[in-house]
Amino acid sequence: MRSIIIATLLVGGSLMAADSVKANDSGSFSEKGIDGAVLYGKNCAICHGKKAEKSPEAGIPPLASRDATRLALTIRAYRDQDKNIGTYTMHKSSEVMQNQTVKFSDRQIGAIAKYISGLK
Ligand code: HEC
């Protein structure tokens, strides 16, 4: 019995340690409490790859390490379906990507773009 309690305490302690490492890792990409790494992992990684290394469709190269500002503007163009904002309108009509981006604020998109841009 005693050893079970000790084992539980040990496991609990190491989980807590893992959690705090995670917070530090992704914290460097967070902007006012918004965590780009978490948002990307939950909403984008399935198609674009865990490290943004995948091509989601023929002709669409991986997103990793692209310029953060361009990424943010492209993502916003999908979200807003805006046909009138210059070069950032490419792919604007993708329904897939509009569905993926419609729920995000500008700040959230900024954090996601920064995170993707930092991936290698
Ligand atoms: C269901 C799969 C899927 C998910 C989930 C998804 N994407 Fe996409 N993404 C695509 C496809 C397909 C395209 C190409 C669409 C087109 O033709 O414009 C694309 C294109 C893009 C592009 C433009 C790339 C280029 O070369 O022009 C960006 C940037 C992008 N996605 C970012 C994201 C972000 C950020 C998320 C998460 C919020 C996300 N995507 C989630 C499938 C997805």
Residue 116 has pLDDT above 60, yes or no: yes
* Ligand 1 center–CA 116 separation, angstroms: 12
CATH number at residue 102: 1.10.760.10
Q: Is the CB of 64 under 6 A from ligand 1?
A: no
**What is the structure's pLDDT at 1?**
55
Give the residue numbers spanning the domain of 66: 30-118
Q: Output the pLDDT for position 94.
A: 75
Distance (angstroms) between ligand 1 centre and the Cα of 24 equals 27
- Domain assignment present for 9: no
C-alpha dihedral (33, 54, 75, 68), degrees to nearest 10 = 60
d(CA 42, CA 49): 11
Quote the CA–CA distance of 93 and 99 in Å, as a whole number.
11
Q: Of 92, 97, 119, which is best to mutate to test ligand 1, by the most ligand atoms within 8 angstroms of its C-beta?
A: 97
**pLDDT for 71-111, tens place per residue?**
998 898 888 876 555 554 454 567 788 889 999 999 999 99
57 located within any domain: yes
Q: Which two tokens stand for residue 55?
A: 């091509």
Structure confidence at residue 33 as a pLDDT band (50, 70, 90)? confident
- What's the rounded Cα separation, in Å, for the pair 114 and 95? 23
- The set of residues, in sequence order, having a beta carbon less than 8 Å from that of 65 and lying 6+ positions away, is 117, 118, 119, 120
- The 10s digit of each residue's pLDDT in 9-22 is 444 444 444 333 33
Q: Tell me how many domains the chain contains.
A: 1
Structure tokens at 33: 């409490």
pLDDT at 77: 82
pTM: 0.77
